[in-house]
Copies of this chain bind each other. A is one copy, B any other.
Amino acid sequence: MNQASSASESLATRAATVIDRCRELAGITDMPGETTRLFLSPATRDAQTLVGWWMRQAGLIAHTDDVGNLRATRRCPHDDAPTLVLFSHLDTVPNAGAFDGPLGVLLAIAAIEQLGSTPLPFHIEVIAFSEEEGVRFGFPFLSSLAATGQLTAEHLARTDGNGIPVAEAIRSFGLDPDRIPITCPLAPGTFAAIEAHIEQGPLLDKSDSALAVVESIVGISRMDLTFQGQANHAGTTPMSLRSDAMAAAAQWIVEVEHYAANYTQLVATVGRVHTLSGASNVIPGTVQATLDVRHPKDESRHAAVAHLLTKAETAGALRGVRVHATVQSEQRAVPMDRDLTLKLHRAAERAGYDAQPIFSGAGHDAMILAAAVPTAMLFLRSPGGLSHHPQEEVLCQDVEAALATLLNLLLHLHPHRKL
């Protein structure tokens, strides 16, 4: 029998504890009545105290680095052994669910608890990143950028809604931004990094599977479009003499949907639409809209964006509406480490699960870490595909499957042996 089956009862209990802890953590919030934990906020401090306590119960001593990441290491007897990082994040989107981020952190702690005193030929560092969602400073991954030496003075100068720069927020939290290059980098001998995370999509749920291993994280183009027509009286302006910015935007939105639906692996979303100073009796003069395009292949994404911008211009030109588009952000597709990904698949198999290969349509810290260290991701089914939502869920059996897979990986992983 494999490891998971032999320890199945205690793994089920541990999985239930992981879920209980995620739910307990969800009660720690900056916004009463919902779960909202922002980077370096009061709720983040309380959440770190609680997670730090759970780390201590697992035999680990936690500390906070100077970008606010909570970190703890299970040391192997050989001080100069290499390090495996297990990570996810503790910050949330506004009005979040309980599992996006915390689940990966608490799975890592549970795996270490389950290991007990089993010797391994590497240290395991658990990192609970402090900033992944990008909510407070309108920019994601600040804390994994710090851990990989990619955080710049420009990042530190970004301000939140109250005009407070990142550097000042760090100081207010009792940390020292000048020490980021000293306290934040991954341990020198880090040889691999693994994040467990909910899928945040419906694919595992639809195929009735517990787990998937991420092949690559899609590239993302984010654009802002302004449709500029002519505001005018809704009663006195005949249809033939209008420059209706909303009608132009609407034609384009339908075309975005149609194009993406017919293009393999492409998703394209017009998420925010707003008729500027709109009124029910005024023909919309200005419409602002966002465009989010994702594809596992950068060249396909670029081609799609170019096509969709042309469509916007055509829809505008039909109505005398000018279209102005600006690139908000561009993120290249990031493949996960091939060898580590195969090892995750193999570990799932040994644990008795069939983890399907998947693309991550969402960005993750794993994208940032991949630039510095071989990185892989394990996805757990999101029931109903729901995420970034208070009703976000995970199934206990899936958490058990993930825990069994991680344990199997840990017990079979050799830092310098390729599959």
Asked if residues A239 and B261 are in contact (CB atoms below 8 Å), the reply is yes
**What is the bound-complex CA distance between A244 and B267, given in angstroms?**
12
The listed residue with most B CB atoms (<10 A of its CB), out of A231, A234, A257, A388, is A234
Please give, as numbers and ranges, the residues of chain B lying within 8 Å of A389 by CB-CB distance: 231
How many Å from the CB of A273 to the closest CB on chain B?
5
Please give, as numbers and ranges, the residues of chain B lying within 8 Å of A199 by CB-CB distance: 236
Provide the main secondary structure of the chain A interface: mixed
Asked if residues A294 and B235 are in contact (CB atoms below 8 Å), the reply is yes
Asked if A363 lies at the interface with its beta carbon under 8 angstroms from chain B, I say yes
Asked if residues A232 and B386 are in contact (CB atoms below 8 Å), the reply is yes
**What is the bound-complex CA distance between A73 and B267, given in angstroms?**
69
Residue-wise interface mask of A (262-284) relative to B, using a CB-CB cutoff of 8 A (1 in contact, 0 not):
00001111111111001111111
How many Å from the CB of A2 to the closest CB on chain B?
30
Asked if residues A239 and B218 are in contact (CB atoms below 8 Å), the reply is no
How many Å from the CB of A185 to the closest CB on chain B?
29
- The B-contacting residues of A in range 216-268, CB under 8 angstroms, are 218, 220, 222, 231-241, 244, 246-247, 249-254, 257, 260-261, 266-268
Take A231-B389, A273-B273, A273-B274 as given contacts and tell me if A237 and B282 are in contact as well, using a CB distance cutoff of 8 Å: no
How many Å from the CB of A214 to the closest CB on chain B?
11
Asked if residues B361 and A236 are in contact (CB atoms below 8 Å), the reply is yes
Contact of A239 among B260, B278, B279, B360 (CB under 8 A): B260
Asked if residues A257 and B253 are in contact (CB atoms below 8 Å), the reply is no
How many Å from the CB of A9 to the closest CB on chain B?
33
Asked if A181 lies at the interface with its beta carbon under 8 angstroms from chain B, I say no
Asked if A324 lies at the interface with its beta carbon under 8 angstroms from chain B, I say no
Asked if residues B280 and A233 are in contact (CB atoms below 8 Å), the reply is no
Contact of A271 among B241, B272, B284, B385 (CB under 8 A): B284
Asked if A415 lies at the interface with its beta carbon under 8 angstroms from chain B, I say no
The listed residue with most B CB atoms (<10 A of its CB), out of A203, A267, A386, is A267
**What is the bound-complex CA distance between A388 and B283, given in angstroms?**
11
Take A234-B292, A361-B233, A388-B282 as given contacts and tell me if A240 and B269 are in contact as well, using a CB distance cutoff of 8 Å: no
Asked if residues A235 and B218 are in contact (CB atoms below 8 Å), the reply is yes
Asked if A290 lies at the interface with its beta carbon under 8 angstroms from chain B, I say yes
Asked if residues B284 and A292 are in contact (CB atoms below 8 Å), the reply is no
Asked if residues B201 and A236 are in contact (CB atoms below 8 Å), the reply is yes
How many Å from the CB of A70 to the closest CB on chain B?
26
How many Å from the CB of A311 to the closest CB on chain B?
13
Nearest B residue to A268 by beta-carbon distance? B239
**What is the bound-complex CA distance between A282 and B386, given in angstroms?**
12
The listed residue with most B CB atoms (<10 A of its CB), out of A222, A236, A328, is A236
Besides A254-B254, A280-B291, 16 other A-B contacts (C-beta < 8 A)? A200-B233, A202-B236, A202-B241, A206-B241, A233-B388, A234-B269, A234-B294, A236-B360, A236-B385, A238-B267, A241-B385, A271-B282, A271-B284, A272-B278, A273-B287, A274-B274
